[in-house]
Amino acid sequence: MDEDEEEIDEDAELEAELEREQNESDDEEEEKEFKIPPPYPQRYSKEKLPDIEANYDSDTSTEETENTIGNVPLEWYKDLPHIGYDIDGKKILKPATADELDKFLATVEDPESWKTVKSDKEGKDIVLNDVELDIIQRLQRGIIPDSTYNPYEPTVEWFTSKTEVMPLSARPEPKSRFIPSKWEAKKIMKIVRAIRQGRIVPRKPKDEKPRFYNLWGDDDVPREDHVMHIAAPKMKLPEHDESYNPPEEYLLDEEETKKWHEMDEEDRPKNYLPKKYSSLRHVPAYDKFIQERFQRCLDLYLAPRVRKNRLDIDPESLIPKLPSPKDLRPFPTRQSLTYEGHTARIRSLSIHPNGLYALSGADDHTCRLWEVLTGRCLAMWKFEAVIHAIAWCPNPDVWLFAISVGHGDVHLISPPKLCSPIQAMNTDQFTKAGFANPAESKQNVSWIKASEADEEKYGYKVLIQHSQAVKQITWHRKGDYVSTVAPDAKNLAVLIHQVSKHQTQAPFKRLKGLVQKVAFHPIKPIFFVATQIYVRVYDLMQQQLVKTLQTSVKWVSSIDIHPGGDNVIIGSYDKRVCWFDLDLSSRPYKSLRYHTKAVRQVVFHKRYPLFASSSDDGTIQVFYGMVYNDLLQNPLIVPVKILRGHDVKDSLGVLNIEFHPTQPWIFSTGSDGTFRLWT
């Protein structure tokens, strides 16, 4: 038995090996015969569908054209060789256009020319068929275009006019139609109860009105006042000075009368002048009677009335508590020096950035250079005309100042023998570098080189000739650009000069208003232009208007920018000094009226929280103006000192002021011909 089982196992193993070899050979043959079938052919890539021909038998619209550009203006294709695209996206070229001779021959030879029209969209001629011609002829005759429409078809009576006698329904009438309504009975009982209770009076007799109105009767009942009625305030009672024969102490003398006439109407304490007459019959008619009655009527019907509860408040508690001026020192308090030498009114002054030297220009045609600490005159320049403006160059490496003289001459002068050799060399290179590369384009001004004799003796470097008198000179903080203001030069009133390249540009093609002053921003590329009423703020980089300040004054006289750059002060000829916060509003944050006459100059201190204003009343008002870094805290403005010393001459007082660059000192010039230092 065991031998038979062993033989059976061996036979099974042999059969399994043979079967395994057979399967492997079959797999190799299948791998050799297997190939990846090619992709199925794309029908749309090889076979092209036939074009759809839109005739009258097809289902598509006959109005579609070959040109598929859509509803766009045909002017777009006016200069192109094609007029559009077909349904396959191919360009449709413009057909050849016939000349006038061909058109004439076509009208003679072509029998269908009279019914040929040109299609602007397809750019070719189209022959109208009989149906289209019939539509056109019908439109010309004013009849219906569709020939198949019959407007006189027989009437179809959808709703017949014959009266039918028999009803549509033979249903008998309901019983409720013949029984009184219970709801109507309820309403009637409600009315009956109201009559019994007297709430409804039937046949009430009417009040008989009189046939004629009793004109003289006293029937008008006085109307009660409204709950919110407020009586009109009574007029002010006359005072003693309104008498026709007032006491002498109520009459004004000539000086007081002149002062009263010079005041604005809203500033006058009373709108009349007391007068004395010998008798009542000499008193004339009151000339302002109608005007006062009119103002009273306006107050009665226009002015709102409000009830105000009077509060017992100490008036002193309403005054804002300001710090004492003693706690706000240092600031100038007294006169220390007087620089004597000028014989006429001094219009301009400028302090060197190091604070050691000062320049002054007067109507005696002289410009003087002073030593600040000693008051000694170091140099003098004599000109042939009035000096309008002076300004030192703020660049510490350059020893140079600009001065405006006469009718448009601006000189760049370097005082000789008062600077180091390095400064002299830098100044010479700075002012003469532009002559090596003169500007090719035509400029608005002329740059003229000074003679060697004038340069050695007086320090003249360059002359810039303008068309009109220059009233202000302002340097940029880096010292390369200088701006001039000539109010009478119209569009060239404001010019910006680059000294190193001798180039001049007019930043404004057209100016709105008469320009008074300009100023550079101490940090940003921003330019301030002050006209009579407005102050416009321009961005020089983007060349656009940033903001317009509403000054609320009649005539701006001066402007200055805070060293931080976010605050501006202006002075005006109507006695006001306005402080603007550029981050807050375009209207004044504070309007100060401490002067009694026109304000000539306003100026900020570069280091201390001080600013000052000068006026024709002969005084200098010094203010403490602290600007905080906290944007939520408003600037603190405190008047600290009034400096008096200049004499008023020809109705002119202090003409110009400027702070010392580093010390809490202030310089002033006046119409009395004096140049003073206050410390």
b vs e for 570-603, b when ≥16 Cβ sit within 10 Å of the residue's Cβ?
A: bbbbbbbbbbbbbeeeeebbeebebbebbbbbbb
Specify if 3 maps to a domain.
no
Tell me how far apart the alpha carbons of residues 321 and 317 are, in angstroms, rounded to a whole number. Answer: 8
- Nearest alpha-carbon partner for 656 in 625, 612, 609: 612
C-alpha distances in Å from residue 216, one per residue of 123, 220, 221, 222: 94, 11, 14, 16
Quote the pLDDT of residue 45. 46
**102: Cα separation from own chain's centroid:** 63
Q: Which among 93, 111, 132 is the end of a domain?
A: 93
Quote the pLDDT of residue 294. 94
* Contact in structure between 519 and 560 (CB atoms under 8 Å): yes
Specify if 410 maps to a domain.
yes
Quote the pLDDT of residue 401. 92
Exposed/middle/buried for residue 493 (C-beta within 10 Å: 0-12, 13-18, 19+): buried
Residue 480 sits in a domain of what CATH number? 2.130.10.10
Answer positive or negative: Cα dihedral of 276, 281, 287, 293: positive
Specify if 287 maps to a domain.
no
Q: Could you tell me the pTM of the whole model?
A: 0.57
Specify if 372 maps to a domain.
yes
Specify if 220 maps to a domain.
no
- Placement of tokens 């030069």 in the chain: 489
Quote the pLDDT of residue 187. 95
Specify if 257 maps to a domain.
no
Specify if 182 maps to a domain.
no
Round the average pLDDT of the chain to a whole number and report it: 85
Q: What pLDDT digit, counting tens, does each position of 186-203 carry?
A: 999 999 999 999 999 988
b vs e for 421-439, b when ≥16 Cβ sit within 10 Å of the residue's Cβ?
A: eebbebbbebbbebeeeee
Judged by phi (left if over 0) then psi (alpha if -120 to 50, else beta), residue 136 lies in: alpha
- Placement of tokens 């750019």 in the chain: 123
Tell me how far apart the alpha carbons of residues 468 and 464 are, in angstroms, rounded to a whole number. Answer: 12
Total structural domains in the chain?
2
Specify if 179 maps to a domain.
no
Q: What pLDDT digit, counting tens, does each position of 530-585 carry?
A: 999 999 999 988 889 999 999 889 999 999 999 999 999 999 999 999 999 998 88
Percent of the chain whose pLDDT exceeds 90? 40
* Contact in structure between 651 and 616 (CB atoms under 8 Å): yes
Q: Residue 572 is encoded by which pair of tokens?
A: 């005006």
Domain range spanning residue 654? 325-678
Q: Residue 187 is encoded by which pair of tokens?
A: 């309403």
Judged by phi (left if over 0) then psi (alpha if -120 to 50, else beta), residue 142 lies in: left
Tell me how far apart the alpha carbons of residues 555 and 515 are, in angstroms, rounded to a whole number. Answer: 11
Quote the pLDDT of residue 30. 53
- Nearest alpha-carbon partner for 635 in 558, 570, 568: 568
CA atoms within 13 A on the CB side of 295: 6
**42: Cα separation from own chain's centroid:** 65
**Which of helix, strand or coil describes residue 332?**
coil
Instruction: Name the stretches of the chain with pLDDT < 50.
Output: 1-2, 4, 7, 34, 36, 40-46, 56, 60-61
Quote the pLDDT of residue 11. 61
